[in-house]
Structure 1
């Protein structure tokens, strides 16, 4: 009898141990997934911020007024802070990365010092302009390497949690593409002096967060999952990981992710109305089988299906086997830049693999538009004479305070770069200057002699 009691107790103990082990395994797997999601987000944010940083530095070289230079420098300073935050969230503790962080600090310190001084009394010197050019070139090298890493991460479905293992592996023969890529980035930044980033405060322009165009009742988590299944035609038994934004978020959203065959999907949905704000599909892309023009038609068809009309194609570009299309609102032949939508189309199958309409839902509303007080010729005189003007159109854009301004948008070239310059159509003030990179522009009305 005692023997059987002992066996029963032992069996219960083994079962309990097995259950505990199962629970621990599940918890560990959940933790790995959470860490991987955080790493992926931080890396893609870093790549995005370096792209913006490169563009912002480039636009300062085309500015014609000191009034725009200070706000531009503050924006660059803010972007370097964000990029450093992204770096700190990646598993690179064991990887020497001080030179790249020093490079970001160099940009941050330099742009902040320029932004806070009186540029009328102490304008940008020739030495500072040369330094800005050097930072611009280095930023280009780093962003291109980040894009290469991003392509490999997405194409080969590499995991950041494996980077942690690779960094703790002391075997000199071990290889990891992500680690090798970041080592290359570190080498690219080695020409810049390491400085310590100062956590300086500044009053930075804040973007208006309206989202007044979102309509409908709040949707539940179950309803949000149903929206995702319907959008991507997913089976009922396919697992969808859904997370709700925190209480402090400016807009309450659901973030969902799923894996189906070789497709890895990420989607963001507004709680109010269940509108799809953005999504991205990661998969391997085969050789292009459709033209960029056919892909544009696919993108336009998607907008129609989403009930989004009155849009005009602003930019079309091809990155290997993917077409990227940027649309802006169109009201009375005036381009509404705040109402922007971006669509990515795979050129092998014509599948939509990326969609972002957050800017549209944030900014869209009925606008009362007026006629410009300045003529086209008067506005063109306000553009940097070093630029060769190629085209123009009337446009609504946001200034640094988030106020919408009626402008003339001029497309001009300088050296081998193309810029878009927005001149206030009423005052002649240089509102925004943007560097256009790797794009094929859909020009508006061509200027006449």
Structure 2
């Protein structure tokens, strides 16, 4: 009898273990498929946008009047922004691609400033026409290389998740058409004559100046493992997978992943100072049992533990069983929007399941704040009287060219819609207007 009981218990245990293993496998497969679909979409979007970029730059070379040239320049600027967004969604963090990203940023900066100036009084110079011609030729080379990679992706059914694994293993020896293609693009843009953009350098924050205030002593892999174990309260014997960013990255980082009980974790930490850039916890979430307000308190508690004291919540929103909160760091009561941090909280028990301070570490720097030329009341005169203003504050934001501007941020409603309006605190110009959808935007 005892034997049958033992067999039954063991059988049940085997079935439960098998089911758990199958469930873990299917969840992992689902995440891989989802990641691959996102990578494929971003890559094909990038190829398409660079194709359009080439066509648009070619069109601008044939135009002369302000009425036709300015809109084309704005189109080029928008396409470079889209291409940069596409690149940021690809798993290239371990592959040097900074020259190409800087090249795209330079195109955007150049075309934007040409587009917004008075071309009647200040038409394109011969030097600027030469720049456009070289940009046209460079865009042609880049699009051809991307088209070659795209053909290989289609014909050989290449997968981006395999690229990610190869980069994580630092496997550069095995043939990989995607890595080879992007390396060729990076090599080409590395040879582009930066002198064509030197006169813009004083007006724009260089991409290479990003992350310049990440400070502290370098940490090694052992210290990274200790930090991860402490961050997530893990057992010392847990198996961690660590990868270090490749040469040429804007910021040297360690990427770590682990599985513990019913959750999978991913974290990125700077080599300099051991700062946590971001992390994500994947686990099955139960029905929400805490309010968005209580979840916000948990997010604020985490930020204080991470050393962020002077913060203001920009917005909060709820997605299924999670709350998403975006915070801005303040400087003498000025809200600094570029130094932004996002926290994701599980609404079943208040656990932090997502954290991202990459924008903060990328943009943070010492700022010399000057008193605005306009008073709050004077700035408000530039806002439509139809808007019911509920709150306002001084804020530093980035304009469309990436330059920081001191503004008055006005928050209000009109016909049941919520708006954010940013007025230049020195000139009264409208810098940015945003219509918000389905988010809670009450400012403290």
Fold agreement, TM-score > 0.5: yes
Residue 360 (structure 1) shift: 1.7
- The answer to whether 1:378 aligns with 2:378 is yes
Alpha-carbon separation, structure 1, partners of 2:370 and 2:240: 48
Alpha-carbon separation, structure 2, partners of 1:232 and 1:356: 15
1:121–1:384 Cα change, 3 Å: farther
Q: Which residue of the partner structure matches residue 79 of structure 2? A: 77
Alpha-carbon separation, structure 2, partners of 1:435 and 1:69: 23
1:394–1:87 Cα change, 3 Å: closer
Q: Which residue of the partner structure matches residue 98 of structure 2? A: none
Q: Which residue of the partner structure matches residue 330 of structure 1? A: 330
Q: Is the 1:207–1:402 Cα contact (8 Å) retained in structure 2?
A: no
Q: Secondary structure at the match of 2:328?
A: strand
Residue 302 (structure 1) shift: 0.5
Q: Is the 1:207–1:401 Cα contact (8 Å) retained in structure 2?
A: no
Taking only aligned residues, the RMSD between alpha carbons, in angstroms, comes to: 4.2
Q: Which residue of the partner structure matches residue 265 of structure 1? A: 265
Residue 45 (structure 1) shift: 6.9
Residue 233 (structure 1) shift: 1.7
Q: Is the 1:390–1:412 Cα contact (8 Å) retained in structure 2?
A: yes
Alpha-carbon separation, structure 1, partners of 2:333 and 2:227: 34
1:333–1:86 Cα change, 3 Å: closer
Q: Which residue of the partner structure matches residue 406 of structure 1? A: 406
> Which one of 36, 41, 47 corresponds to residue 39 of structure 1?
36
* Structure 2 unaligned regions, length at least 5: 1-28, 47-69, 92-110, 121-158, 162-195
Alpha-carbon separation, structure 2, partners of 1:37 and 1:220: 32
Residue 84 (structure 1) shift: 6.0
TM-score, normalization: structure 1? 0.56
Residue 377 (structure 1) shift: 3.6
* Structure 1 unaligned regions, length at least 5: 1-31, 50-67, 90-112, 123-158, 162-201, 445-449
Q: Which residue of the partner structure matches residue 103 of structure 2? A: none
TM-score, normalization: structure 2? 0.56
1:416–1:74 Cα change, 3 Å: farther
Q: Which residue of the partner structure matches residue 189 of structure 1? A: none
Between 1 and 2, higher relative CO (CA 8 Å, sep ≥ 6) is seen in 1
1:261–1:34 Cα change, 3 Å: closer
- The answer to whether 1:321 aligns with 2:324 is no
Q: Is the 2:73–2:115 Cα contact (8 Å) retained in structure 1?
A: no
Residue 283 (structure 1) shift: 1.5
Residue 238 (structure 1) shift: 2.5
Q: Is the 2:40–2:160 Cα contact (8 Å) retained in structure 1?
A: no
Q: Which residue of the partner structure matches residue 284 of structure 1? A: 284
Q: Which residue of the partner structure matches residue 363 of structure 2? A: 363
Residue 337 (structure 1) shift: 1.1
State the aligned residue count.
296
Q: Which residue of the partner structure matches residue 244 of structure 1? A: 244
1:422–1:291 Cα change, 3 Å: same
